[in-house]
Amino acid sequence: MYFENRFRFNFPSFSLAILLSVFHTSSSAECGEEMLTKCRYPLRVLTNNQEFSFATKKEDLETLCPDINEGLRCIDNYTRTCMNAHQRGHFYRLYAGTSHVIQEICEEGPYQDEFLKYAPCLRAVKTEHENCGVTYQNKINEITTYPNGTRRKDIDSESVVKSLCCSFRSYLKCSEDVVLDKCGADTADFTSDFLNRMSSSLLELHCDKYNPDSAMCEEIMNDDGNSSSSVSSSLCILIFLFAISKYLS
């Protein structure tokens, strides 16, 4: 139940701290809660109501990106200080796609221009897009909540990873379908590329063989859950990072 409550109680504020905590091993004072708070504060724009979908002008990015870049630098410093080489390598493989896309959006160039071109319609469908995350988050809660007394060695990690991957791929497909319906093919193509690049390392390392349209994934996703809250794309990716790392570390 603790794991479930961790998701439901103010998860956006704690998601980055939880993810980093999964990997850290150092007992240094620099690896405590204070440094985690320092890292996650600049990245609040990725997990609250002011995320990238609200940035429709270059001026918006100029306001958001300094905080985001500060957060990325903090994460880099934290991983070098608080993780061993193996943990750091695995973390960066998982986080690489997200980090690269964020940096490209925050730097002047073709990708930033393309993002700003499609941003107004992405902002207009923000609610529908976030609703795709409702089923996903409910499924994550279901997958990662076990009866009291369950030991990790008793958990079928392969089955958990399969469920996580099917859920995450179904979330990505839902998001792309929403944009295609409301914004057209060009914006949908950009959204598909954006989400796949954000999560490419995750998908390639752990989820490449799970197709959201397969009978196996459709069976896993049959239970839609009852939550009415919305979930952002960045938060879904952070949730997936945390959840899958628990079963692969």
The model carries a pTM of 0.67
| Token duo for residue 234 | 């960045």
44 three-class SS: helix
The pLDDT assigned to 233 comes to 52
The pLDDT assigned to 46 comes to 55
The count of domains in the chain is 1
The pLDDT assigned to 23 comes to 52
The pLDDT assigned to 6 comes to 33
Look up residue 46 and give its DSSP letter. G
Q: Which amino acid, 113?
A: D
100 three-class SS: helix
The pLDDT assigned to 83 comes to 79
- Which residues of the chain carry a pLDDT beneath 50? 1-19, 21, 24, 47-51, 149-152, 154, 224-232, 235, 238, 242, 244-249
Domain enclosing residue 97, as ranges:
2-248
The pLDDT assigned to 17 comes to 44
The pLDDT assigned to 112 comes to 93
Calpha distance 55→169 (Å, rounded): 25
Q: How many CA atoms lie within 13 A of 213 on its CB side?
A: 1
Calpha distance 141→148 (Å, rounded): 15
Residue in the structure block whose two tokens are 């009852």: 226
The pLDDT assigned to 130 comes to 74
The pLDDT assigned to 161 comes to 75
| Token duo for residue 165 | 């991957």
Contact 206, 243 (CB under 8 A): no
At residue 43, φ and ψ (nearest 5 deg) are -90, 10
The pLDDT assigned to 33 comes to 63
Contact 19, 47 (CB under 8 A): no
